[in-house]
Amino acid sequence: MRTFRCIVLLALFLWACSASCHAARHALLVAVWDYEGTGHPSLEGPPNDVRLMQEILVERFGFEEEDIVVLRNAQATRTALEAAFASLAERVRPGDFVYIHYSGHGSTTADLDGDEPSGFDQTWVSHGSRKHGKDSGNPDDFDVLDDELDRWLRPLYARTDRIVLVSDSCHSATASRGETSRVRAISADVRPHPLGKTRSSDASAATGVRIGAVRDDQKAVERETDEGKVYGVFTWHWARALREASPDETWDDVFKRA
């Protein structure tokens, strides 16, 4: 998988998005927890994850509420996500700071364009995916491919390198079949993805920071806190690490602490 890995691809100094910076700030926060009708378990943590990240962005990094777009459940179909990325790219100007966060199920599907050594694309399980049969040709009935995310990010990279993208989801379903609803992974989609043969441009040219909660062969999980709220384990620790961040740290430092 090229889009998300459990490493920081480029360390950006935290002053790039501090309250003293005059560049504009933009955030897209995505929470999908309702998977009813898919045959897979719904989640509890994603709505709490995005509320927590909203607090961090406003209180710690100087975002205004109007700088933050939040998509929840039915607002986060594949088509809606593509439109949200396109709208974000239209607003962003050179030097702006962009933060994108996804909390929800992750999965895999067969790689049809031959760019994955593993033979599988990793996916976001957007709202509405998996609800219809194998003969559906509607892209909204399928997950969001990592190749699609690459394409949606390209216009943003053309405008600014100050982009942080975090995915708190599992990147492999093969290791998590039969697990509880606290695991953010569902079984692989065996249907051929209608967009699977559309080749993506070379991701190696992209800059920015890309962070996955787990490696491609690991599970992302959510747990209940002592206060009785459920969060993605990575998001909860990531938020704490961001609260403690100092201007002389890099994103890599924050990631390692999380």
As beta bridge partners, residue 212 has 167
pLDDT over threshold 50, residue 164: yes
Q: Residue range 72-83: average pLDDT? A: 96
Q: Which of 105, 127, 171, 193 is catalytic?
A: 105
pLDDT in tens, 1-10: 333 333 333 3
Judge whether 101 counts as a catalytic residue.
no
- Residue closest to 106 by CA, chosen among 220, 231, 256: 220
Which tokens hold the place of 39? 């045959």
Distance CA 165, CA 28 (A): 9
Is residue 6 domain-resident? no
pLDDT over threshold 80, residue 187: no
Prediction pTM value = 0.81
Distance CA 79, CA 67 (A): 22
pLDDT score at 248 = 84
What confidence tier does 43 reach under pLDDT thresholds 50, 70, 90? very high
- In sequence order, what E strands does 19-173 have? 25-31, 68-72, 97-103, 106-110, 120-124, 144-145, 163-168
Which tokens hold the place of 50? 């995005």
> What is the domain range of residue 137?
14-257
pLDDT over threshold 90, residue 57: yes
Which tokens hold the place of 112? 């049809």
More confident residue, 19 or 5: 19
- Residue closest to 126 by CA, chosen among 178, 79, 85: 79
Q: Which of 26, 101, 170, 193 is catalytic?
A: 170
pLDDT score at 4 = 33
- Residue closest to 63 by CA, chosen among 12, 99, 103: 99
Q: What is the mean pLDDT of the chain?
A: 79
Is residue 1 domain-resident? no
Is residue 173 domain-resident? yes
Give how far Cα 76 sits from Cα of 31, 144, 223, Å. Answer: 8, 11, 23
pLDDT score at 138 = 81
Query: Would you tell me how many other CB atoms lie within 10 Å of the CB of residue 13?
Result: 14
Q: Give the CATH number of the domain where residue 125 resides.
A: 3.40.50.1460
What confidence tier does 23 reach under pLDDT thresholds 50, 70, 90? confident
pLDDT score at 224 = 92
pLDDT in tens, 198-250: 655 554 445 678 888 877 667 788 999 889 999 999 999 999 999 999 888 88
Is residue 7 domain-resident? no
pLDDT score at 140 = 87
Judge whether 105 counts as a catalytic residue.
yes
More confident residue, 207 or 170: 170
CB 92 within 8 Å of CB 159 = yes
Is residue 2 domain-resident? no
CB 94 within 8 Å of CB 160 = yes
Is residue 5 domain-resident? no
Is residue 226 domain-resident? yes
In angstroms, how far is CA 60 from the centroid of its own chain? 21
| Domain count of the fold of the chain | 1
Is residue 229 domain-resident? yes
